[in-house]
Chain A
């Protein structure tokens, strides 16, 4: 039975915000833009909290990597029911190049340090859409993984995970300790209301540096350029079928 669950939460640009590319094409505009917890991470937190409410786990620890602002995201996780938080301080250039490889190394180190037996993450972040952190973390720890989980059930010392795959649903049974990544239909996350946020202020957030965990943050990737997707061309209206055929021929489509 899993005693401690580690939940990774990522601070991303809010899903409803219209993204704008920086004029120098090095990235997207983040200054002054509304940020919030990655939606799939919310689902991950909710699942962990539900496991605790069912008394299947004893403690839920929320983890986030980044600068000072990620503490807001950790606080949201605490407001949703996590017991304590860990803020891994990463800022500046290190934060810009922080990706799944670095985060999974950090999570693996933390899982060993905190003696966690279950890690729940969102399946992917809506900003980079990598869908890699869960898988890499499992590989680094040599733990089994249940990715794209739409249902998780504890069965003794094993975990039954129903995964959303292209052909439908796949049910697997994996040993604990394990890594699970949450898919959209896993659960309905609760809203972190103001009273819950206030109560969560009493919960602790500890600060950790990647160096303390023995993690090297160097990235093997370099972002060369960021561009907007091509603008949608306006549609053309035609009067008759002959016109349509004519236009299609013109465009070389038929």
Chain B
């Protein structure tokens, strides 16, 4: 197991798990799929490949943040602003 990167992977998992609490389809749905996604790569040992996977995880974090923002923005806009604007 690539020791130096293990910490980063665990941190990434925790960050994603935290973000998953607000997932529209529910925390449980998110957590199940997150676990599957991480477990699928549990035997990867090449540090470069691991780094690439971590980067992909960071990308997903950014995507989720954007999703949450857009969802909230659209809901607020719909509720409080005249449809013409």
Q: Which residues of chain A have a CB within 8 Å of any CB of chain B?
A: 15-16, 39-40, 126, 184, 188-189, 191, 193-195, 197
Contact = CB atoms under 8 A, between A and B. Distances in A.
Contact of A184 (B15, B65, B71, B81): B81
B38 interface: no
A39 B71 CA distance: 12
Interface of B: 11, 14-15, 18-19, 24, 61, 65, 68-69, 71-73, 75-77, 79-81
Given A184-B81, A195-B15, A189 B76 contact: no
B72 A193 contact: no
Contacts of B80: 184
B65 A191 contact: yes
Interface centre among A16, A184, A189, A191 (most CB of B within 10 A): A191
A33 to B, nearest CB: 14
A130 to B, nearest CB: 13
A193 B68 contact: no
A124 B32 CA distance: 37
Contacts of A191: 19, 65, 68-69
A193 B73 contact: no
A44 to B, nearest CB: 14
Contacts of B76: 15, 39-40, 126, 184
Contacts of B65: 191, 193
22 contacts: A15-B72, A15-B75, A15-B76, A16-B24, A16-B71, A16-B75, A39-B72, A40-B76, A126-B76, A184-B73, A184-B81, A188-B69, A189-B69, A191-B19, A191-B68, A193-B15, A193-B61, A193-B65, A194-B14, A194-B18, A195-B11, A195-B15
